[in-house]
């Protein structure tokens, strides 16, 4: 396993740690993680702050693994597969958890998960014909706005919450719109390779 793949695998480990941290029944076992009151009306739980820090670290590994792989000629089929899996584990699991905890709209989570299923299916069909659908700029912008939106959500939209501006929600809505647009663009790019009968 080369360095790039190790970086990618660390993202999977961090994703699992984040899931355990946010899903573990601490209260049911008589354990209570600290929580804080910010500005007299914002209830902040420490576990979400820790998850936010871990999410930032995991997101940075997504930036570095590809660069390392390309720079040092470490691109492998295993690396490509694990990179895709780790990306979905990190973002989609968090979207589901935050949705179930009422921190984001379930509509946002559904849009991203359905979009990922559709795009991955398109890529698989095209790949089976020996072709490839290249990453597009709008998809990268979608990912960036999603990452920032999730970070601000985990950090309770601070400091913007103090002045009543829902930056976290705006970023997630923009990202959801971009995800739908990019899905249509992927379909248009792949249309010549998809047989519609």
- pLDDT tens for the chain, 197 residues: list them: 799 999 999 999 999 999 999 999 988 888 888 999 999 999 999 999 999 999 999 999 988 998 898 888 888 888 888 998 999 999 999 999 999 999 999 999 999 999 999 999 998 888 888 887 777 889 989 999 999 999 999 999 999 999 999 999 999 999 999 999 999 999 998 888 877 65
Interatomic CA distance for residues 63 and 68, integer angstroms: 9
Q: Which residue has the tokens 């601070």?
A: 158
Residue 45 half-sphere exposure, CB side, CA atoms within 13 Å?
13
* Terminal C-alpha separation, the chain: 43
Reading the block at residue 146, the tokens are 């999603």
Phi-psi region of 75 (alpha: psi -120 to 50; beta: other; left: phi over 0): beta
Whether the full predicted model's pTM is greater than 0.85, yes or no, is yes
Contact criterion met (CB below 8 Å) for 104 and 95: yes
Domain 3-193 fold: 1.20.120
Interatomic CA distance for residues 58 and 142, integer angstroms: 17
Q: In the prediction, which pLDDT does 93 show?
A: 97
């Amino acid at each position: 396993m080369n360095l790039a793949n190790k970086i990618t695998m660390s993202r999977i480990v961090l994703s699992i740690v984040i899931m355990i941290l946010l899903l573990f029944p601490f209260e049911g076992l008589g354990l209570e993680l600290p929580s804080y009151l910010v500005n007299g009306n914002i209830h902040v739980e420490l576990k979400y702050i820790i998850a936010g820090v871990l999410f930032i670290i995991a997101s940075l590994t997504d930036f570095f693994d590809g660069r390392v792989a390309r720079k040092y000629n470490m691109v492998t089929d295993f690396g490509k597969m694990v990179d895709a899996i780790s990306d979905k584990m990190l973002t989609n699991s968090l979207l589901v958890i935050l949705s179930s905890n009422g921190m984001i709209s379930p509509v946002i989570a559904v849009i991203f998960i359905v979009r990922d299923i559709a795009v991955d299916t398109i890529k698989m069909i095209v790949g089976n014909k020996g072709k490839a659908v290249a990453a597009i700029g709008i998809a990268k912008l979608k990912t960036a706005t999603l990452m920032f939106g999730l970070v601000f959500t985990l950090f309770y939209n601070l400091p913007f919450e103090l002045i009543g501006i829902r930056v976290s929600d705006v970023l997630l809505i923009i990202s959801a719109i971009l995800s739908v647009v990019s899905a249509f663009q992927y379909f248009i790019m792949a249309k010549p390779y998809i047989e519609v009968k």
